[in-house]
Chain A
Amino acid sequence: MTTVPTKRDYSLLGRDAQAAVESGLAAAEWYHTEIPRKQMKELMKREDGPAIRDTIIWLASLLVFGCLGIYFWGSLWAVPFFLAYGVLYGSASDSRWHECGHGTAFKTMWMNDVVYHIACFMIMRNPVTWRWSHTRHHTDTIIVGRDPEIAVMRPPDLFRLILKFFGILDVWHAVIDMVRNAFGVISAAEKTFIPEIERPKAILVARIWLLIYVATIGLSVYLGSILPLMLIGLPRLYGAWHHVLTGLLQHGGLADNVIDHRLNSRTVYMNPVSRFIYWNMNYHVEHHMFPMVPYHALPKLHEMTKHDLPAPNPSILHGYREMIPAFLRQLRNEDYFLKRELPPTAKPYREEFHSDRIVQAGE
């Protein structure tokens, strides 16, 4: 069979956005593994304890590494402390933003909100804009033209991917968005997913953040040192690598335009340190199927659903060994993707939705 590569239009206002709505891919009903209601309720149950513990460790570690970085500033001894500080600031904030945005990390809602706003500032994602963009990501996961959070578009731009590890493009766009929002402008794309009533909040946050960054830059100029920026702002660049390392695995190289998370999401077993930084989002198929399950219950959910899900990648390295060749093949044929094989115990994919794409994957 010969496939004719199709140029994907990722614009939220473009051709594929319209096609997704017309074909029923947008806001579709997605596959879920069956879990008895009683067990599901147990899994969804909220607790404050795990997230309070993890947040204390996170913020205390930031404080300790930041202070040691300041203390050793000017010597090479400062480097490891800033490397650790950077990952906690520029990567751990990604998962905190995410979990608290779902409102599942803590049982107490104000705790979710406080950590959400702190993490949003660190990761430079407007808390209003990104709450709504992530809502769309869950409605239309990796649906071209609908999902505003597709990290790797096809064909992949490998240079941009490398820049992502240093946060360069993300920060560039975040600064532009922040300044634009601070001047009261909401883009046409943002208007497709942020309700009108929420837009003034996005503008207010952008103005507050802009003031903080201007003050930090001013302090750096006043002191004649980049140290203030090493603590606020720059860690989003030099500490971004871990959240990109783990985040690319979520959907990279897998199917698009399908309505079964087993086809477009990836679960990867990871080391305990990465899982702490990432707050268990390595169980990504499970998270997308059941976003109400808190991060601390995802390992249990994984055990209960793995009979119905593709085998997880056993390590980050294994995931990259699978994903990078897929990216390279997509340079030649953007329709290529990795088809996730299901175990014999799983319910099969709904071929009426996915058969064309599955054939393409095998070529």
Chain B
Amino acid sequence: MSSNWVEVCAAEEIDEEDVIRFDHDGRTFAVYRSPEDEYFATDGLCTHEQIHLADGLVMDDIIECPKHNGRFNYKTGQAKGAPVCVNLRTYPVKVEDGSVFIAIS
């Protein structure tokens, strides 16, 4: 499957230990900046009830859904237990010239 790199935003636009929403081509993504200043990306909606994760809380390597507190590891996409049972899809991320890019397949 081919993927293309899409520019999300300037790297500084995402606070440390935070997440933003990124919509592209009819799809929605969540792009994260970890406390270690690394960037990650996942699908933007919780696999439980399609809530935007970008309104949730980032704690270390966890994103918590704002509606039912379902937790995922945003680095791996792993669902961490009820009420989320299905993992999140993750996407490669790179930072070039001060901008964040994600590879959308």
Q: Which residues of A contact B (CB under 8 A)?
A: 27, 40-41, 44-46, 102-104, 107, 109, 128, 131-132, 135, 138-139, 195, 197-198, 290-292
- Determine the chain B residues whose CB is within 8 A of the CB of A27 once the complex forms: 49-50
Asked if B71 is at the interface of the complex by the 8 Å CB criterion, the answer is yes
Number of interface residues of B (CB under 8 A): 17
Pair B18/A132 contact, Cβ less than 8 Å:
no
Once the chains are docked, how many angstroms separate the CA of A82 from the CA of B59? 41
Pair A135/B83 contact, Cβ less than 8 Å:
yes
- How would you classify the secondary structure of chain B's contact residues: helix, strand, loop or mixed? loop
Asked if B69 is at the interface of the complex by the 8 Å CB criterion, the answer is yes
Asked if B64 is at the interface of the complex by the 8 Å CB criterion, the answer is yes
**Which residue in A104, A107, A132, A292 is a CB contact (below 8 Å) of B83?**
A132
Once the chains are docked, how many angstroms separate the CA of A7 from the CA of B82? 34
Pair B57/A103 contact, Cβ less than 8 Å:
no
Query: A131 and B82 in contact (CB under 8 A), knowing A46-B59, A139-B49?
Result: yes
Closest to A193 in B: B83
Pair A291/B85 contact, Cβ less than 8 Å:
no
Question: Apart from A132-B83, A135-B83, what are 13 other A-B pairs with CB-CB below 8 Å?
Answer: A46-B57, A103-B71, A104-B69, A109-B71, A138-B67, A138-B68, A139-B49, A139-B67, A291-B67, A291-B68, A291-B69, A292-B56, A292-B69
Once the chains are docked, how many angstroms separate the CA of A260 from the CA of B67? 14
Pair B57/A292 contact, Cβ less than 8 Å:
yes
Pair B82/A41 contact, Cβ less than 8 Å:
no
Closest to A201 in B: B82
Pair A103/B64 contact, Cβ less than 8 Å:
yes
Closest to B82 in A: A131
Pair A195/B85 contact, Cβ less than 8 Å:
yes
* Chain B 20-62 interface 0/1 with A at a Cβ cutoff of 8 Å (1 = within): 0000000000000000000000000000111000011101000
The winner among B64, B69, B85 for most chain A CB atoms within 10 A is B69
Query: A131 and B85 in contact (CB under 8 A), knowing A41-B18, A103-B69?
Result: no
Would you mind naming 5 contact pairs between A and B with Cβ atoms under 8 Å apart? Answer: A44-B57, A132-B83, A291-B68, A292-B64, A292-B66
Once the chains are docked, how many angstroms separate the CA of A271 from the CA of B98? 53
10 tightest Cβ-Cβ pairs between the two chains A and B = A44-B57, A135-B83, A103-B69, A135-B68, A102-B69, A292-B66, A131-B82, A195-B85, A292-B57, A138-B68
Pair B82/A132 contact, Cβ less than 8 Å:
yes
Once the chains are docked, how many angstroms separate the CA of A138 from the CA of B57? 18
- Determine the chain A residues whose CB is within 8 A of the CB of B50 once the complex forms: 27
Pair A128/B69 contact, Cβ less than 8 Å:
no
Shortest C-beta distance, A194 to chain B (Å), equals 9
Once the chains are docked, how many angstroms separate the CA of A107 from the CA of B69? 13
- Determine the chain A residues whose CB is within 8 A of the CB of B66 once the complex forms: 290-292
Once the chains are docked, how many angstroms separate the CA of A223 from the CA of B83? 43
Once the chains are docked, how many angstroms separate the CA of A59 from the CA of B57? 30
- Determine the chain B residues whose CB is within 8 A of the CB of A138 once the complex forms: 67-68
- Determine the chain B residues whose CB is within 8 A of the CB of A41 once the complex forms: 18, 57
Pair A139/B59 contact, Cβ less than 8 Å:
no
- Determine the chain A residues whose CB is within 8 A of the CB of B59 once the complex forms: 46, 107
- Determine the chain A residues whose CB is within 8 A of the CB of B55 once the complex forms: 40
- Determine the chain A residues whose CB is within 8 A of the CB of B49 once the complex forms: 27, 139
Shortest C-beta distance, B49 to chain A (Å), equals 6
- Determine the chain B residues whose CB is within 8 A of the CB of A104 once the complex forms: 69
Query: A128 and B82 in contact (CB under 8 A), knowing A291-B68, A292-B66?
Result: yes
